[in-house]
């Protein structure tokens, strides 16, 4: 009997906590929506003008990508090194550690 009552009390407490936090959330949302509506037309116009002026500045930016077509760019030396192929993973998950690697080394004569 005691376990049933404790389970019901726990569910009731969790339910109350959810309702309280939900109420607080909705209460805060109401005031945030009201504060957004308090902007005057002048403030909105100022924000819009700032946005438009910044957009115009970005539109004037011109990236010159012609250097990619230059012969000197294509004549650069490649200093990258090839990556040696290594065995990845195991075919049998329950095999001994490095079993596949040892088997591969034996088959290739120690060469990779």
Q: Where are the domains of the chain?
A: 1-61
CB of 58 within 8 A of CB of 84? Answer: no
Predicted confidence at residue 54, as pLDDT, reads 94
Predicted confidence at residue 49, as pLDDT, reads 95
- The pLDDT tens digits along the chain (112 residues) read 455 677 778 888 999 999 999 999 988 887 776 555 566 788 888 999 999 999 999 999 888 888 778 888 777 788 888 888 877 776 777 766 665 555 555 666 555 4
Q: Is the pTM of this model over 0.75?
A: no
What does the DSSP 8-state code read for residue 97? T
CA distances from 58 to 2, 30, 49, 62, 67 (A): 70, 36, 14, 9, 22
């Amino acid at each position: 009997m005691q376990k049933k009552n404790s389970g019901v009390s726990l569910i009731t407490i969790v339910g109350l906590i959810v309702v309280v936090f939900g109420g607080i959330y909705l209460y805060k949302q109401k005031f945030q929506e009201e504060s957004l509506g308090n902007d005057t037309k002048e403030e909105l116009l100022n924000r819009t003008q700032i946005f438009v002026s910044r957009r115009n500045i970005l539109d004037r930016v011109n990236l010159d990508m012609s250097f990619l077509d230059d012969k000197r760019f294509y004549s650069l030396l490649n200093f990258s090194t090839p990556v040696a192929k290594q065995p990845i993973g195991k075919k049998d998950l329950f095999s001994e550690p490095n079993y596949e690697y040892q088997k591969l080394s034996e088959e290739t004569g120690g060469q990779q």
